[in-house]
Amino acid sequence: MTYDALRRGRCSLAGYAYHVTVVTAGRKPVFADFACARLAIREIRRCDAAAQTDTRAWVLMPDHLHWLFILGAQTPLARLIHDFKGRSARRLNRHRRATGPLWQRAYHDHAVRRDEDVQTIARYIVANPLRAGLVEKIGQYPHWDAAWL
């Protein structure tokens, strides 16, 4: 699938909130490794530092990422996710001395409607480890953050 094919049918509006989910190739639990998780998180923070995103909440599960952010003006959504996945894959593959894809080719995105409550979506995202049975309290899970919960 080409970059152009990923763009078709997607809405990309600067200043809008998006909930994006990306999954590892073969649903491998790459992020069960603490160091791998921190490398991926560094890429989320880099997107914020570059004003591509204004992150509201995220949780990095062993085999996928949920990320809620306000899209910046300079980078379309498809390009942002393409670049995020590429940078994080290169960094993680180098760290793991691995080759091949880190992420599945596609991703799921949801443009948050104005009538939806962003804080409710953020709570849903960070509660993922609870629902998955990985922890008993959100604070026990090390790979999440939320701007205002």
- Please tell me the pTM assigned to this model: 0.91
Domains contained in the chain, CATH given = 3-144 (3.30.70.1290)
The pLDDT tens digits for 117-149 are 999 999 999 999 999 999 999 999 999 999 865
> Which tokens hold the place of 54?
């204004």
Burial class of 111 by CB neighbour count within 10 A (0 to 12, 13 to 18, 19+):
middle
Q: What is the DSSP string of 76-109?
A: -HHHHHHHHHHHHHHHHHHHHT--S-SB-S--EE
Task: List pLDDT tens digits, range 16-73.
Answer: 999 999 999 999 999 999 999 999 999 999 999 999 999 999 999 999 999 999 999 9
